[in-house]
Amino acid sequence: MNLRILRKAWRSRNGDQPSSAFSHNIIRLFSQLSSQSTPDAFGIAFDIDGVVLRSEAPIGGSPRAFRRLYDDSGNLRIPYVFLTNGGGISESKRALELSSLLGVKISPLQVLQGHTPFKQLVNRFENELIVAVGKGEPAAVMAEYGFKNVLSIDDYASCFDNIDPLAPYKKWITKQVADQSRAVAAKDLVLSQRVQAAFVVSDSVDWSRDIQVLCDILRTGGLPGRGIGHQPQLYFAHDDLAYQAAFPSERFGMGAFRIALESIFNRIHPHALEYTTFGKPNPFVFKNAELILKQLVLSLQDKVQVLNPANAGGHNFKTLYMIGDNPAVDINGARQAGHPWFSILTRTGVFKGKENHAEFPADLVVDTVEEAVDFVLRKECSS
């Protein structure tokens, strides 16, 4: 695009020569655009655990790195999202937490968690009884998405006497329902209505109880204690075998829980477990991230916070950067997604090797997220 094209487009629309004032404004605008990079030509997706944070502590110079994505007034200037398989709380709460930890203003639109795609299933299960599994607030997350008949597995299990034979030996105290009338109503509902779907929203806190109860739900057609029936739907927010937490070596993730559940279920049921997994490295997750980044570009251009996703299709990125620590998840996902994704692997999480990963090599390997951001900005924002 150049000044001649702009003038030609103006004449074809107005049938006349542009005024001197118009020419002056166009020349000034064009010179401004030509003297700097176009930040909307690229976008960034960051993994969180092992890249930006370890547990709740920033790592790898992440606060400094993120401040470089904003202008001096604290306004976002580079479009980016968090693309994480983690979760358990709403995107709005996670945005507030990240804003506090990193010292920048983060919108819920920028937070894409493993369970975020569950929103797409609201029309199917909006009024059906569903069970939400995991740490944090899994039922509250699903309710915020629009599911109207959802119980956490804690509340669901509490409706059945003796469903967990190990409960008397567990020292922790589960949260009691404050509204007893609500608890009675929930129990009546559970004992008379079949569960239509179970959603593993985040990592299970009590594997023995959750595997037991899920097997009861899944093999009986949604009514524990009954005979074998058709399996309800089962969804996992992601399938990570391991992730980097505060402990020096990786911890088992939702993928490990899925393997344990599947192994046991397949031993006690005549048909193999059927399930659907979301999260990275599925290519559609990266496509969704690209769509959100397009919305962010429009919000930066139009100074609008909430946009119609249908309006985002007109913008095409030259490069999208995936910055992650897990070769099998972050790098593999970016590689499967293909153009315009460029993968950057950090050494602060799951990956700690000196050379590139052998099976899932990244386009670039760096030590920290700060180095990754420095590379991106030098490459994209140099005059």
239-280 pLDDT, tens digit per residue, is: 999 998 899 999 999 999 999 999 999 999 999 999 999 999
Q: What is the pLDDT of residue 5?
A: 40
Q: Which residue has the tokens 């990754």?
A: 372
Spatial distance between the Cα atoms of 270 and 235, rounded to a whole number of angstroms: 20
**Average pLDDT for the chain:** 87
Q: pTM for this structure?
A: 0.84
Structure tokens at 71: 């202008």
Q: How many CB atoms lie within 10 A of CB 120?
A: 11
Separation of CA 113 from chain center: 2
Q: What is the pLDDT of residues 342-379, one digit of tens each?
A: 999 999 999 999 999 999 999 999 999 999 999 999 99
Please state the rounded mean pLDDT for residues 4-15: 41
Looking at per-residue pLDDT, the higher value among 277 and 28 belongs to: 277
Quick check: helix, strand or coil at residue 374?
A: helix
Tell me which CATH code domain 42-114+280-381 carries.
3.40.50.1000
Q: How many CB atoms lie within 10 A of CB 368?
A: 18
Q: What is the pLDDT of residue 313?
A: 53
Contact 110, 296 (CB under 8 A): yes
Structural domain boundaries of the chain? Answer: 42-114+280-381, 117-277
Q: What is the pLDDT of residue 35?
A: 36
Query: Which band of pLDDT confidence, cut at 50, 70 and 90, is reported for residue 189?
Result: confident
Q: What is the pLDDT of residue 382?
A: 76
Query: Which band of pLDDT confidence, cut at 50, 70 and 90, is reported for residue 287?
Result: very high
Q: What is the pLDDT of residues 304-345, one digit of tens each?
A: 444 444 445 557 899 999 999 999 999 999 999 999 999 999
Spatial distance between the Cα atoms of 241 and 255, rounded to a whole number of angstroms: 4
The percent of residues in the chain predicted with pLDDT above 90, rounded, is: 77
Residue from 117, 111, 107 nearest 299 by CA: 107
Could you give the residue ranges of the DSSP H alpha helices within the chain?
Answer: 3-14, 20-34, 62-67, 91-102, 122-125, 138-145, 153-157, 180-192, 207-219, 254-268, 283-302, 332-337, 369-380
Contact 254, 200 (CB under 8 A): yes
Contact 282, 117 (CB under 8 A): no
Q: What is the pLDDT of residues 60-105, one digit of tens each?
A: 999 999 999 999 999 999 999 999 999 999 999 999 999 999 999 9
Q: Do domains 42-114+280-381 and 117-277 have the same CATH topology?
A: yes
Q: What is the pLDDT of residue 179?
A: 59
The topology (CATH level 3) of 117-277 is Rossmann fold (3.40.50)
pLDDT of residue 23 exceeding 50, the answer is: no
